[in-house]
A and B are shown apart, each in its own frame.
Chain A
Amino acid sequence: MIACAEAVRRLWEYLDGVGDESHREAIEEHLSFCRRCCGEVEFAEELRGFLAAQGAEELPDDVRERLAATLDGLEQEAP
């Protein structure tokens, strides 16, 4: 059985689906009785979603035009 500190240390690896099976089972056992660490898991999931939401970004028109011009230039040579 693992303590809260150990469970918290391995939470993200657990959510990421990495780390070995024994750690995964130990965390699931811990979460089955520890409400505070369940809160940590929910918050870690929120943080993951929060980071994932940072990805989408508009490409400024002027940058798009210059990069398209780069592609035009590349087409003068064979890939």
Chain B
Amino acid sequence: MTRDVFPSDVAVRADSFRELAESQLPRLYALARRLVGDEAEDAVQDCLLKAYRGFDRLEHPAAGPAWLTSILVNTCRDRGRARSRRPEEVGVDDVDDFSLFRTIADEDPFPYSDSLHLDFLHQFGREDVRAVLASIPELYRVPMLLTYVEGYHAKEVARFLDAPLGTILARLHRGRKLFERRLWEYAEENGLLKEGARP
């Protein structure tokens, strides 16, 4: 059922919360897995508790998924802060000049391929991509996940993370470059650059 605003009756609002939460659970859990790994279930539980207690502040159902995402992201960040007090920064000079496109073309790992770059990407299974993303420092990984996996605009990500848009764009830039370089390094380290490495 589609509604423009939530009804005010307590029992109906409780049902509305449950409807919203249940529809978002797979997405929230998948995001939490990428943000905090094995603590994902605990993070989603914390998120549900905070969201339920703040549900009165959500006026429009259409904003529900993004609102839950925002709560989850901040819950996961709190957990991240508890683990490590200092986010790991990476100098842009270290990665700025790396181009995965050019590296694949220059190294030519599959000489008989007609679609070299696509063949490179097809070597990666879901767990490989998860490992590559997990290797990126949280400072860059979180905006990357929210933008490119979850599909939020950079302006929304800036709002979720309470950071200026310029800061988020700079982190996205570094995150993308790190992702490209670590895809290549992972492929080298895990034998994905051999013809027929994966079916």
Interface, chain A (partner B; CB < 8 A): 5, 8-9, 12-13, 16-19, 39-40, 43-44, 46-48, 50-52, 54-59, 63-64, 66-68, 70-71, 74-75, 77-79
In the complex, 22 of the A-B residue pairs with CB atoms within 8 angstroms, ordered by the A residue number, are: A5-B97, A12-B176, A16-B172, A18-B153, A18-B154, A39-B101, A43-B117, A46-B117, A47-B180, A50-B121, A52-B148, A52-B149, A55-B150, A56-B30, A57-B29, A63-B41, A66-B41, A67-B41, A68-B22, A71-B21, A74-B48, A74-B52
A74→B121 contact, CB < 8 A = no
Task: Classify the interface of chain A: helix, strand, loop or mixed.
Answer: helix
- Does B66 reach chain A (CB closer than 8 Å)? no
Instruction: Please indicate the chain B residues that have their CB under 8 angstroms from the CB of A74 in the complex.
Output: 17, 48-49, 52
Given contacts A18-B165, A54-B129, A71-B18, 7 further A-B contacts (CB under 8 A): A12-B176, A16-B147, A47-B180, A54-B149, A55-B149, A59-B29, A67-B45
A16→B126 contact, CB < 8 A = no
Instruction: Please indicate the chain B residues that have their CB under 8 angstroms from the CB of A16 in the complex.
Output: 147, 154, 172
B41→A75 contact, CB < 8 A = no
Cα separation A22 to B120 with both chains bound (whole Å) = 34
Task: Classify the interface of chain B: helix, strand, loop or mixed.
Answer: helix
- Does B96 reach chain A (CB closer than 8 Å)? yes
Instruction: Please indicate the chain B residues that have their CB under 8 angstroms from the CB of A54 in the complex.
Output: 126, 129-130, 133, 149
Cα separation A37 to B22 with both chains bound (whole Å) = 44
Q: A16-B147, A59-B29 are in contact. Are A78 and B14 (CB under 8 A)?
A: yes
A67→B48 contact, CB < 8 A = yes
Cα separation A77 to B29 with both chains bound (whole Å) = 24
Q: A43-B100, A46-B118, A52-B151 are in contact. Are A75 and B14 (CB under 8 A)?
A: yes
| Residue of B14, B129, B169 touching A13 (CB-CB under 8 A) | B169
Cα separation A74 to B54 with both chains bound (whole Å) = 12
B175 to chain A, nearest CB (A): 10
The chain A residue sitting closest to B18, CB to CB, is A71
The chain B residue sitting closest to A40, CB to CB, is B101
B66 to chain A, nearest CB (A): 15
Cα separation A64 to B117 with both chains bound (whole Å) = 38
Cα separation A48 to B144 with both chains bound (whole Å) = 10
